[in-house]
Amino acid sequence: MNRFRPNLLPGLLGAALLASCGTPGAPLPPSLELPKPVTDLRAERKGDKVFLAWTLPTQTTERQTIRHLGPTRICRSLQTAMKDCTSVVGQMPPARLSRSASPTGPKAQAEYTDSLPQDLQQQNPTAQVTYAVLVLNESGRSAGLSNQVQIPAAPTLPAPANFKAQVTAPGVLLTWSCSPAPARPLPYLQYRVRVYRRGENTRADTNVGEAEMEDCSKTQLLDQSFEWEQTYSYHATIVTVVSVPEKPEMQVEGDDTPAVKVFAHDVFPPGVPSGLQAVFSGVGQAAFIDLVWAPVTDAGLAGYNVYRREEGEQPVKINSELVKTPAFRDSNVAAGRNYFYSVSAIDARGNESARSEEATESVP
């Protein structure tokens, strides 16, 4: 029989423990905390200003939540595609990211406004300016440029002077002073005056028309697409149109005029009816006088009123309701009388035109 040797137990336990431990692997490299490149850079130009906007990255290239975000460089180039940020026109300071923001909620936005130099516009009127942003970590390192966006480099002109809006019967008349194109026009460039309208309770502008401005032959527009009894504001801008052969047309707007507000109150009556004729009928039947006239074609016409008078008297309206068609029969006539008739037009807002020329007819 083998005897139990107590001094052998500790050695066996130690060997078992060593056998259960894995061999240490190579240490993982430290995270570089590189923000993911921006993918939704947007650009919009107005006059000499270029407005850039993008979403701040919230993750690193390793799909980890960003702890510290460094500055963002604004890159501009006349090349159609940038390989790196060789021309920095601005820099945004490090942004603070909210730790409580929901992963599925709205992302933080960043904005930057760049001013295009005048010499760049004049020297490269048909070119496009390319923008990108480069988001850095705290150590000044980046994972690369954002998506790249282009805007026209064409020069713009100041807003039209003396811009005015006046409510008239045909519509809102928009006028401005002549702003001739440059004395030395650049090739492939044309200029137009564009007018916008905005309703009092809306946030979007409506383009109501454009006018070429090469020879100042047209310095007004008539807006007829509005609704009466509404308040509107109007403004105008000069648009530079770049038309290079075999390339898509490009447009860039200049600065806006001050907004002009108008209340489109309709106090304008429709046109006066014309061609009124009166014809008596009564042989073998009750006497009556038929009236006919040329229809009024104004928009918003609601109907007509018919007036009658006798010699030496004032006209009196003889219809109880608006006459909807350009014809009326007067059956309330008496023998031996001479009647004078006239008609007026009424619009949907109750404005009444002047009365037509009279037509006369006698009842035997």
Amino acid at 185: P
Contact predicate 288/299, CB 8 Å: no
Q: Which CATH topology does 274-362 take?
A: Immunoglobulin-like (2.60.40)
Whole-angstrom Cα distance, residue 171 to residue 124?
41
Nearest to 79 by CA among 148, 136, 23, 170: 148
SS3 of residue 325 by DSSP? coil
pLDDT, residue 20, reads 46
Question: Is 6 in a helix, a strand, or coil?
Answer: helix
- The top-level CATH class assigned to 42-98+106-152 is mainly beta
Determine the pLDDT at residue 162: 96
- Domains of the chain, residue spans: 42-98+106-152, 164-263, 274-362
pLDDT at 156: 93
What sections of the chain are H helices per DSSP? 9-20, 118-123
Contacts with 283 (C-beta within 8 Å, 6 or more apart), sequence order: none
- Are 48 and 13 in contact by the 8 Å Cβ rule? The answer is no
Residue 27 pLDDT:
52
The residue whose two tokens read 């705290």 is 138
| DSSP class of 336 | T
The architecture in CATH of the region 164-263 reads Sandwich (2.60)
- pLDDT reported for residue 13: 41
164-263 and 274-362 agree in CATH topology: yes
What's the full length of the chain, in residues?
A: 364
Helix (H) or strand (E) holding 83: none
Residue type present at position 105? G
β-strands 109-115, 88-92: how paired?
unpaired
The whole-number pLDDT of residue 149 equals 97
Question: Whose CA is closest to 354, among 266, 269, 265, 268?
Answer: 269
Taking the alpha carbons at both ends of the chain, their separation in whole angstroms is 160
Q: How much is the pLDDT for 213? A: 84
Which H/E stretch holds residue 256?
Answer: strand 250-256
Average pLDDT, 10 consecutive residues per value, the chain (364 residues): 43 43 50 89 97 94 87 94 93 78 73 95 92 94 95 94 95 90 76 96 94 84 94 97 91 97 95 97 88 94 97 96 97 95 96 97 94
